[in-house]
A and B are shown apart, each in its own frame.
Chain A
Amino acid sequence: MRIIIAFAAALAFGVSPQLTFAQAKPAKATSAQAQKKAAPAAQVVEEEPDEATKEFEKFRAQMEDSNPAELFEMKGEEIWKQKRGPKNVALAESCDLGQGVGVVKGAYVAMPRYFADADAVMDAERRIVWCMVDKQGFKFDDIAKKPFQGANDTSAPDITNLVTYVAAHSKDMKIAVPLDHPRVREIYEIGKEVVNYRAGPYDFSCNTCHGSDGKRIRMQNLPNISTGKGAIKGVQGWPGYRMTGGVMLTHQWRMNDCFRQQRFPAPKYASDVVTSLLTYMIGNSNGQTYRGPGIKR
């Protein structure tokens, strides 16, 4: 029910759900109204948030008390504590997210981090998947087959629920990716190279849109992820309840969609290339406060 209300509200606010490279045509009705304000505003300071952003921020504030992400957190908590998989083990009694077995408090804001048992740097989603495979005995290939939600699918996959649950337990905590660890630092530096890499039919890199300040596509601000101020914008609100389609989506999913819009092929699920991007972006947000699972346009 809440989900439907949220989506309707999104439409009522005239937040165009498709401000992407692929589907860039905003609704005509809003376009005419906003144009009156946009024409003179184009001259003013770039930091000024556009109308849609302001409206959306207002809406987000109103939604704080009944954040739809909570439904997914609850589901995630249930799955975290349940004995599951071929090995019939609960993640709560087997999975170490870096803070000790079963500890979720503060785990999300301290990942990506290096995990000695896996000998790899892992972001939150990847670590949860690793635990499901290693501790519970699920098959990675089964998980990787359909990791994210399909369009208009309101029942999130287990992993999305689990990530949302874990992320919620870092709400209002400071982001602290351990960049002084040499392995984490290495994957951070690799991530910096990945965001710089131009290829594909349109010669795009991440930095084409997200490498300098004050950029906007259509009406949407493009955060500069090389700065702390910009990077946090790419971190905040994920995992997020997306009003477009009423789905809950993870940060990994968002990285996938960036590559899609870059006209790249698809990154393999829970792979180093995604971890490197997340390490770079979340690492650049270090010291800032994570507000927990959120709401996205």
Chain B
Amino acid sequence: MNTKFARFASLAVVSSGLATAGLPAAADAEHRAKALEIIKRDFQPRGQAGVDRLAEDGLQAICNRTGNNPPEYIAKRMEADQLATIKLPADGKLLGDWKEGEKIAQSGRGFTWTDNPGLPVGGNCYNCHQISPKELAFVTIGPSLYQYGKLRGNSSDIQKYTYNKIWNAKGFNMCSEMPRFGHVGALNEQQVRHLVALLLDPESPVNK
């Protein structure tokens, strides 16, 4: 009981300390409260995008309150929680077809109010990453993935890491800008396998 309380108290101290030391925006509790009120009030559902999307989940809430810079020990726990939700494919196969992966990587469709919810969602990969040199992606949001497999090899550990990272990037970096594609149901097992192949298959243009 006492330890529990002490832990909670130290969490409160650390996070409030960080909030003031982090982005100026994160320190501004009063304006944040008003912003939340306005966000709750000023949106309406459209297409597949319901107002439920406006609510922060636990991870988003911590990232939002700490300027995407949570205390290390909280980040470690949250990352472990996120990783624990990943179920690897039952048959153990993590490598799909890189050609299919390339198509998924190129597509940015899905989840907007103009997208047909019945159609498969794309990986959006080229929006943020350079991947195959054949596809134009003059981008700087995420790191270049060109030569990804050539640099890392194709061991089962690397396959697993790559699969997990695409499935839920927040398992490795709590406030990463990368969406949790598998976790939120954007991409399924088969699609993630194809993306793993795009990055790791020696025949993929990524590794040529």
Q: List A residues at the B interface (Cβ < 8 Å).
A: 20-26, 30-31, 34-35, 38-39, 41-42, 46, 50, 186, 189-194, 196-205, 208-209, 214-219, 222, 259-261, 263-268, 271-274, 276
Complex alpha-carbon distance, A189 and B35, angstroms: 9
Complex alpha-carbon distance, A191 and B41, angstroms: 15
Question: If the complex has contacts A203-B60, A265-B53, are A50 and B46 also in contact, measured as CB distance less than 8 A?
Answer: no
Q: Looking at chain A's contact residues, is the secondary structure mostly helix, strand, loop, or mixed?
A: mixed
0 or 1 for each of B137-153: is its CB under 8 Å from A? (1 = yes): 11111001000000000
Within the complex, the shortest CB–CB distance from A6 to chain B, in Å, comes to 24
Residues in chain A near residue B39, CB distance under 8 A? 194, 197, 273
Within the complex, the shortest CB–CB distance from B41 to chain A, in Å, comes to 8
In the complex, the number of residue pairs spanning A and B with C-beta atoms less than 8 Å apart equals: 177
Within the complex, the shortest CB–CB distance from A129 to chain B, in Å, comes to 15
Give the number of residues in B that approach A within 8 Å (Cβ atoms).
63
Complex alpha-carbon distance, A203 and B178, angstroms: 8
Q: Does B31 contact A (CB under 8 A)?
A: yes
Q: Verify B136–A35 contact, CB threshold 8 A.
A: yes
Closest 7 pairs (CB-CB, A-B) = A24-B108, A193-B35, A273-B42, A266-B46, A202-B179, A271-B42, A31-B136
Q: Verify A22–B177 contact, CB threshold 8 A.
A: no
Question: If the complex has contacts A192-B25, A193-B35, A197-B35, are A219 and B136 also in contact, measured as CB distance less than 8 A?
Answer: yes
Q: Verify B136–A260 contact, CB threshold 8 A.
A: no
Q: Verify A199–B136 contact, CB threshold 8 A.
A: no
Contact of A265 among B25, B44, B126 (CB under 8 A): B44
Q: Verify B42–A272 contact, CB threshold 8 A.
A: yes
- Could you show 28 A-B contacts with beta carbons less than 8 Å apart? A20-B108, A22-B112, A25-B106, A186-B34, A189-B28, A192-B25, A192-B28, A193-B35, A196-B23, A197-B35, A200-B54, A203-B59, A203-B63, A217-B139, A261-B112, A263-B111, A265-B45, A265-B113, A266-B43, A266-B46, A266-B49, A268-B42, A268-B43, A268-B44, A272-B42, A273-B42, A273-B43, A276-B38
